[in-house]
């Protein structure tokens, strides 16, 4: 299956559809080689909109076309590779179509396809056009009634969106077949259509909603995996209760279903009432899933459920508005996850620490992925202005930066104000396809404030920089903070909520009062207690603004952008002593982590510039000693404080990216820190071990996080005792968290136990695809030790492993994706062997699954930032791919944008 050539589509070119579809009835006769689809559309002209009835369709064989039950002659329509156009459709009509498709040939996993003999669909963004002819655009919302027929022996389970109306046995010429009739009472765009048929087992639970309705929750999995879906189903129950409590939003169907499949291009899909999930985000037990996996499953299950309102009941007018549903829903799942972390904590202090750890995880991911995207050829606003292939814009900018923009809205209007805004949004737009502007307008109207300047965030690409300069007048006891924003030459300023605090020389927050005011302004997002305001959200709405604070004692250190209140880069003139002070004392835990990250970044850059690791890391080492010795801090927070910035983040702070030199500098500093604390690591590793079997409690998970970090640093010292401890943990652990951490530590070392540990892991988990994905990824991202052959040779060998398949996106992401996106030092080897590998894999994948190929293709988009010899090799590789005549639109857009720099 190949994608058709794509032209650039511009947001400004939007025109309403000429026709709307009120209802669609679908009938499926499911067979792998040839599925017949009969669709009946009740259409009407959309007001005064002009034009013929255009029905999108790709890779479909048209069998029959009727208009108001009369066959349409060949002169009455045009059929081409893009779809079907009916020239003289009356203002109101019933269109009946019959077409055929071949699910077994669909390797792109868009539309209707087969996975292990089961039928599944994926229709977002434009997969429905590969099922039947239809106006495949999100602003056409219809009610669906779906009849599914299939052979009972191969497809005992038949599912579709909505509520099950009836089911039974087929009669006549289909002996052994059965049918099920489903109806979704709510209008939806076709990208939310879903069908599942095959051999599945179910785990289910009934819950009562806040209005007293009993609803059925189901998790459908391949037989034998029912127990592995327990955590996902529990997460769904928690998500439903949370959405009722936080936003007053109740499940609106009689049942809600989750289906797990191993063949899926994404993490999950929010089809109305029938969510289809990658098994990675459903299957969980301690043997197979890490603590991080358990949290990710809870988050993704919640995310897809929350789409039931933010994305399904109100959806996007067009795909340029994708962040309307995705940014908002990522924010909602982040808030849910923070509340779930806090709910497990044993004390208010532990709850605050748990929230901070979650926030750190979110920001770390944003900086490692979205910040580089903002400075590369794929840079785009959270609401893009143009695209050629919409699949390429399911990005961290649209999702994660979009969530940060929504978070800023909540900061500006407050938690209660934000809920009022959400209520206004649904009161105005339930059942509609709308725009980002409609969402911001609802928040503004509910809170009686203008947000016109804030709305610029939706159309501004790039990461803004805020320069912060401070001075102190000891005579007047006034502290002056000057903030200057840079977000594009000649562009008007953004509205940036900038959270600020002052830390006194005793390590406590100083009450804040702006000079000339009787008290702090009390703006939303401020942190105030009986002693005064400790954190003040400053409104930076001008290119430059000066804030003067009164009654400030000497010796205070500014704490900037607390809680990461805006997705910006702060350029501040901190000294090492000030950062060290904040790293040990800042009452704001996020900024305490931020200070350690700044010290670590400075140290790596200094080593990269030629400084000795011991000298470069002295201040960081002191901060680490302090935090590791402070047992009042949550163990997981201490683990975050002692984590070095990832290579991708460091790369954003150098003019030229030499991936080998960067890795060597980071690893040199890491070894120096490990050796300097050589007695601390084994002590922590032993003291944090929990007696008894694995427990998933928050406190136990936090101890495992710090314990495994300690093991990793201990192994980095090269001590044989550390190698033996890691090997024993990898062999004897009763949970994947400890086992995978030990295996990764060994793999990134010269330990003689490394290869036996890898072999033992593969043997034990030979029939567990998700566990083997971890095994693939650990090896693909390994750091080569002195004298060892390039990692690429190992990766090529793993391509031949019986568990690997180019047709499975999970396997590809685990091995090829991990190598190309997570091992730059090995990918960009001096002999250009990595470039040859990249060409091979992109072209091979493009013939199978263009979406997955495009993700791999993005590994070379930053080529102009590399040294000349690597830059030349990367550009040459891009040109080889660009010269292919049958390249998909997905990969073509990535390669063309990369070369256009």
Phi-psi region of 338 (alpha: psi -120 to 50; beta: other; left: phi over 0): alpha
CA distances from 442 to 11, 414, 523, 593 (A): 22, 14, 20, 35
* Cα–Cα distance measured from residue 251 to residue 273, given in angstroms and rounded to the nearest whole number: 9
Could you write out the three-class secondary structure of 317-335? CCHHHHHHHHHHHHHHHHH
Cα 51 from chain centroid? 39
Phi-psi region of 63 (alpha: psi -120 to 50; beta: other; left: phi over 0): alpha
Residue 282, Cβ neighbours under 10 Å: how many? 27
What secondary structure letter does DSSP report for 511?
P
If you write DSSP's letter for every residue of 653-682 in order, what string do you get? TSSS--HHHHHHHHHHHHHHHHHHTTTHHH
Active-site positions read: 304
Q: Residue 412 belongs to what H/E stretch? A: helix 402-413
If you write DSSP's letter for every residue of 795-841 in order, what string do you get? HHHHHTSTT--TT-HHHHIIIIIHHHHH-HHHHT-TTSHHHHHHHHH
Query: Which residues, other chains included, contact 870 with Cβ-Cβ below 8 Å and sequence gap of 6+?
Result: 658, 659, 828, 830, 863
* Cα–Cα distance measured from residue 835 to residue 829, given in angstroms and rounded to the nearest whole number: 9
Contact indicator for 588, 562 with CB cutoff of 8 Å: yes
* Cα–Cα distance measured from residue 21 to residue 140, given in angstroms and rounded to the nearest whole number: 6
Which has the closest alpha carbon to 460: 421, 408, 424?
408
CA distances from 772 to 286, 296, 462, 603, 761 (A): 15, 18, 37, 36, 8
Ramachandran angles phi, psi of 537, nearest 5°? -85, 110
Q: Look at strands 274-278 and 527-529 and give their pairing.
A: unpaired
- Token couple for 205: 């639970």
If you write DSSP's letter for every residue of 515-528 in order, what string do you get? TTSSS----TT-EE
SS3 content of the chain, % helix, strand, coil (to 5): 45, 20, 35
What Rg do the C-alpha atoms of the chain give, in angstroms?
Answer: 28
Which has the closest alpha carbon to 772: 738, 807, 812, 734?
812
């Amino acid at each position: 299956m190949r994608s058709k050539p794509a032209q650039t589509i511009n947001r400004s070119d939007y025109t309403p559809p000429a026709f709307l579809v009120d209802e669609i009835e679908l009938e499926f006769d499911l067979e792998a080689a040839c599925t017949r689809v009969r669709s009946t559309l009740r259409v009407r002209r959309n007001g005064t909109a002009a034009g013929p009835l255009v029905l999108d369709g790709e890779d479909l064989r048209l069998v029959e076309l009727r208009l108001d039950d009369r066959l349409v002659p060949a002169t009455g329509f045009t059929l081409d590779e893009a779809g079907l156009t009916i020239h003289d459709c009356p203002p109101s009509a019933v269109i009946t179509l019959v077409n055929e498709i071949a699910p077994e040939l669909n390797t792109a996993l868009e539309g209707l396809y087969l996975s292990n003999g089961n039928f599944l669909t994926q229709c977002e963004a434009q997969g429905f056009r590969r099922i039947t002819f239809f106006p495949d655009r999100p602003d056409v919302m219809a009610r669906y009634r779906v009849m599914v027929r299939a052979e009972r022996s191969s497809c005992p389970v038949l599912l579709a969106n909505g509520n099950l109306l009836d089911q039974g046995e087929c009669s006549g010429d289909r002996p052994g077949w059965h049918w099920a009739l489903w109806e979704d009472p709510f209008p939806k765009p076709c990208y939310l259509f879903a069908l599942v048929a095959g051999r599945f087992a179910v785990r289910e639970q009934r819950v009562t909603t806040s209005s007293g309705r009993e609803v059925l929750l189901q998790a459908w999995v391949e037989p034998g995996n029912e127990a592995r879906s327990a955590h996902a189903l529990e997460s769904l129950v928690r998500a439903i209760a949370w959405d009722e409590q936080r936003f007053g939003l109740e499940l609106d169907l009689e049942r809600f279903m989750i289906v797990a499949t191993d063949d899926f291009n994404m993490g999950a899909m929010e089809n109305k009432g029938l969510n289809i999930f990658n098994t990675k985000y459903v299957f969980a037990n301690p043997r197979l899933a890490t603590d991080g996996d358990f949290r990710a499953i809870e988050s993704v299950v919640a995310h897809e459920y929350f789409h039931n309102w933010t994305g399904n009941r109100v959806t996007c007018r067009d795909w340029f508005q994708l962040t309307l549903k995705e940014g908002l829903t990522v924010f909602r799942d982040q808030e849910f996850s923070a509340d779930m972390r806090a709910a497990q904590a044993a004390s208010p202090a532990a709850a605050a620490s748990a929230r901070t750890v979650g926030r750190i995880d979110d920001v770390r991911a944003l900086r490692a992925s979205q910040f580089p995207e903002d400075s590369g050829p794929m840079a785009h606003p959270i609401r893009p202005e143009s695209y050629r292939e919409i699949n390429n814009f399911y990005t961290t900018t649209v999702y994660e930066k979009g969530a940060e923009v929504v978070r800023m809205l909540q900061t500006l209007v407050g938690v209660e104000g934000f809920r009022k805004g959400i209520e206004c949004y649904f009161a105005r737009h339930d059942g509609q396809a709308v725009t980002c502007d409609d969402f911001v307008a609802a928040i503004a109207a509910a809170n009686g404030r203008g947000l016109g300047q804030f709305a610029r965030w939706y159309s501004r690409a790039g990461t803004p920089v805020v320069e912060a300069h401070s001075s102190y007048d000891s005579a007047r006891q006034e502290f002056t903070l000057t903030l200057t924003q840079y977000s594009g030459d000649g562009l008007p300023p953004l509205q940036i909520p900038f959270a600020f605090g002052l830390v006194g020389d005793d390590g406590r927050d100083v009450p804040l009062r702006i000079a000339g005011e009787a008290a702090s302004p009390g703006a939303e997002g401020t942190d105030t207690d009986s002693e005064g305001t400790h954190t003040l959200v400053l409104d930076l709405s001008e290119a430059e603004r000066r804030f003067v604070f009164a009654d400030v004692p000497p010796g205070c250190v500014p704490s900037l952008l607390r809680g990461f209140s805006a997705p910006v880069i702060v350029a501040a003139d901190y000294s090492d002593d000030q950062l060290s002070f904040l790293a040990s004392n800042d009452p704001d835990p996020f900024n305490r982590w931020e200070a350690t990250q700044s010290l670590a970044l400075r140290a790596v850059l200094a080593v990269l510039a030629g400084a000795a690791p011991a000298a470069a890391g002295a201040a960081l080492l002191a901060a680490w000693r302090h935090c590791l010795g402070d047992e009042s801090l949550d163990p997981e927070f201490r683990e975050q404080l002692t984590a070095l910035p990832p290579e991708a983040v460091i790369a954003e702070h150098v003019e030229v990216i030499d991936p080998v030199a960067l890795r060597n500098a980071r690893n040199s500093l890491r070894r120096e820190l490990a050796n300097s604390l050589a007695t601390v690591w084994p002590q922590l590793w032993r003291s944090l071990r929990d007696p008894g079997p694995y427990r998933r409690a928050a406190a136990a998970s936090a101890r495992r996080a710090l314990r495994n970090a300690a093991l990793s640093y201990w192994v980095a010292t090269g001590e044989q005792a550390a190698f033996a401890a890691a090997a024993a943990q990898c062999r004897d652990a009763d949970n994947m968290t400890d086992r995978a951490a030990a295996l990764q530590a060994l793999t990134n070392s010269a330990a003689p136990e490394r290869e036996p540990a890898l072999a033992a892991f593969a043997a034990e988990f030979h029939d567990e695809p998700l566990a083997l994905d971890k095994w693939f990824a650990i090896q693909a991202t390994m750091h080569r030790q002195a004298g060892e052959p390039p990692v690429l040779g190992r990766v090529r060998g793993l391509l031949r492993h019986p568990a690997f398949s180019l047709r499975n996106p999970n396997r590809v992401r685990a091995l090829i994706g991990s190598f190309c996106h997570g091992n730059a030092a090995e990918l960009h080897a001096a002999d250009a062997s990595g470039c040859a590998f990249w060409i091979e894999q992109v072209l091979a994948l493009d013939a199978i699954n263009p979406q997955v190929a495009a993700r791999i293709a993005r590994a070379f988009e930053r080529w102009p930032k590399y040294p000349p010899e690597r830059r030349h090799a990367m550009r040459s590789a891009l040109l080889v791919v660009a010269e292919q005549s049958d390249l998909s639109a997905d990969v073509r857009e990535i390669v063309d944008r990369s070369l256009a720099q």
